[in-house]
Amino acid sequence: MPSNSPSHRPAENAMQLTGAQALIKSLEMEGTEVMFGLPGGAILPVYDPLIDSSIRHILVRHEQGAGHMAEGYAHATGRPGVAMVTSGPAATNIVTPLCDAYMDSIPIVVITGQVAYSVIGTDAFQECDTVGITMPVTKHNWLITDANDVPRVIREAFHVATTGRPGPVLVDMPKDVSNQMMDWHWPDAVDLPGYKPNMKGHPKQIKDAARLMGESERPVIYAGGGILKARAAEALKELVELTRFPVVTTLMARGSFPDDHELCLGMPGMHGNYTAVTSMQKADLLIALGSRFDDRVTGKVSTFAPDAKIIHVDIDPAELGKVRRPDVPIVGDCRLVIEELVKAVKAERNKREWPSLETWHRQLREWQERYPLRYEQLEDGPLKPQYCVDMLRDNTPDDTIVVAGVGQHQMWTSQRWTFNYPYTYINSGGLGTMGFAVPAAIGAKVGKPERMVWAVDGDGCFQMTAQELVTASAERIPVKVAILNNAYLGMVRQWQELFYEERYSEVYLSPDLPDYVMWAEAMGCAGFRVDTPDDVVPTIEKANEIDDRPVVIDFRTDYREKVYPMVQAGMSNDDIILDPAHDTYGAR
């Protein structure tokens, strides 16, 4: 590049910068320490000043990986993840992570290159309407048309991504704007007149909620991912221990309340445990905190928790009444609302005695004892995936960060791992993105390098984004991956077995193609294969000792194993299907 090109002009001259320099400087001002990305023609001017920046850039092998890494980083740290890619196919490749982050309320900031503003609309090389395509899957997006707007837009982007209901935002940067000179100015404040999230719940509604809680005999706290987004785990624990109300934690809320607490019932939903699912069905009051009444939790909505009154707390007013009409709707930040709710509950309890919950607690204990999660690992039998998860759980530090892909392995991991710490279970809940685990685990490890990070993946999921282990090896990011290899697209096979009369259409993958050990080693990882129960723990211990490169273990698991309990899509939670090993099948 010529020495007098705009991006090489000294930034100190009259405080003038190029748009590209201003973009990098703005990211630094927002505290960005790391970004995940892949350069290309339209974003090249922005990659140039990155050489002189304090920001660590991690070069991915596919733009989808950059987006999921940013998500994993944000999940693990609570800070916004940042990704940067070029225009056209690079921008469309990152649409999936954007949608994933949108569904799960993950704060990420994505920068995309765009063809020169002067040629937009001419079908220029690698031009695509990135803003138009991403509008439905971002909280907000911007097309920058003037370099002088860069600092303001970046500041707004981080503000929007991280406040209210968190979510992904996108900034589209045309190449000629990147090269345009501007006068550097960092705005003192963000001014978005139409954007004012309501953080504090209404005092009267909080008082009404406490009154309803004081009348309930079968209450359940329905904790959702909003608890984690609001950093409300401690407040939740205080509320639970004050009221003695039992808690279910959704897939996105695992870890928000300790699994080993006597009042934790575990995960509800399509593959939730019997007690968690049935407690909601039989409840007379559900206190929904940062949860969105997802169809995987409610089953057939018209039959969901028929006797329950609803208190619904959410930062997003659009969630209130979207699926189930609340008796007490409260718009606000979960942590702030729970803290006020604790005060209101104490005041309410000072007025009168609340109903005894002993009968309700006894019923819950009876269900837990009668319908536990179960499987059987025979000494010389095929390797059970649940056994692999149990041994991983029992042979890793308590604060290990676990990242799952999507499918049977995700459900087994959520069911069987004991999550006693918040922000230790990362997965794709709303969108259900196969291929999420490997790149998200890399992002989590970058954000929390001092913590052990295990990805539990399926063989189908692993094949979608495994190439990002090359990124991890090159960058010396020692994540660990456990593949539960049953040679099938397991969850699809399970549905075909149960609901399509065992007509297995296009789900067989083969256990040996590819050879996962050779593939792992080719990507710079250590690779192991486990075929028998006896080898599970020794191999996990070997993997735990390796800290200078990624590790992959190929667990050859029983392809016949299915995830139970199960509520068939569109059916009532009353029709929960238990493992055939139980004394009843389809017990109510």
Q: Which helix (H) or strand (E) holds 265?
A: strand 264-266
Give me the helix-helix angle, 63-77 and 95-104, nearest 10°: 20
Residue 126 falls in the annotated catalytic set: yes
Catalytic-labelled residue, pool 464, 491, 523, 566:
491
CA distance 253 to 423: 9
Helix, strand, or coil here: 445?
Answer: helix
Instruction: Name the residue among 187, 138, 194 with its Cα closest to residue 167.
Output: 138
For residue 57, the tally of other CB atoms under 10 A from its CB is 18
Residue 491 falls in the annotated catalytic set: yes
Q: Name residues whose C-beta falls within 8 Å of residue 60's C-beta, 6 or more positions apart in sequence.
A: 36, 37, 38, 66, 69, 439, 468, 471
Structure tokens at 464: 């979608």
Backbone Cα Rg of the chain: 25
Q: Name residues whose C-beta falls within 8 Å of residue 553's C-beta, 6 or more positions apart in sequence.
A: 480, 481, 482, 483, 527, 528, 529, 530, 539, 540, 543
Catalytic-labelled residue, pool 16, 29, 33, 126:
126
Residue 175 falls in the annotated catalytic set: yes
Catalytic-labelled residue, pool 1, 15, 125, 217:
125
CA distance 524 to 446: 18
Backbone angles phi, psi at 172, to 5 degrees: -100, 125
Go through 485-523 and write b for each residue having 16 or more CB atoms within 10 A of its CB, e for each that does not.
bbbbbbbbbbbbeeeeeeeeeebebebeeeebbebbeeb
Q: Residues 437, 461: contact at Cβ < 8 Å?
A: yes
Residue 269 is given by DSSP the state: S
For residue 223, the tally of other CB atoms under 10 A from its CB is 29
Catalytic-labelled residue, pool 63, 339, 340, 561:
63
Catalytic-labelled residue, pool 139, 175, 282, 384:
175
Which residues participate in catalysis according to the annotation? 63, 125-126, 175, 491
